[in-house]
Copies of this chain bind each other. A is one copy, B any other.
Amino acid sequence: MVKDIVYTVRVEFGDCDPARIVWFPNFFRWMDAASRHFFVECGVPPWHETEKTLGVIGTPIVDTHARFVKTASYGDMLELHTSIAEWRGKSFVQRYRVMRAADLILECDEVRIFAARKPGDERGIRAVEIPPEIRRLCE
């Protein structure tokens, strides 16, 4: 049994495009929030704290594959079911199922890493081994 954590989104007028449906980049915005929300709900501290304790500044994405099943529009309430489908050495697969009541709107698998700053490189980042204390909280 993996942890499945729900993040709720109200779709707003401004999230929709001239075709009157959600403009799809907004789904990635919401999934990114659901990703962080997953860690927060599991008890992982905010990244500005883990930066000091573990060097971890966040979980940047390296791969994402989304399948859009139904459209959504403003007034809809969406539930983003978020879980970790797989742990790898330096990466993990975060899985989302975006539901409107019983309707599947979107499903998505992301590969993310735990990132630290590159020493001596203001903007560079590198993958670190998955911190066992974080993994333990999320399982």
Contacts and interface: CB of A to CB of B under 8 A. Distances in A.
A32 interface: yes
A83 to B, nearest CB: 19
Interface in A13-65: 13-14, 16-21, 23-26, 28-29, 32-33, 36, 40, 46-48, 57-58, 60-65
Q: Number of copies of this chain in the oligomer?
A: 4
A74 B18 contact: yes
Interface string A58-84: 101111111110010111000000000
The A interface, classified by DSSP as helix, strand, loop or mixed, is mixed
A125 interface: yes
A133 interface: no
A139 B124 CA distance: 34
Contact of A33 (B12, B18, B60, B62): B12
A98 to B, nearest CB: 14
Nearest to A23: B14
Contacts of A64: 24, 64-66, 68
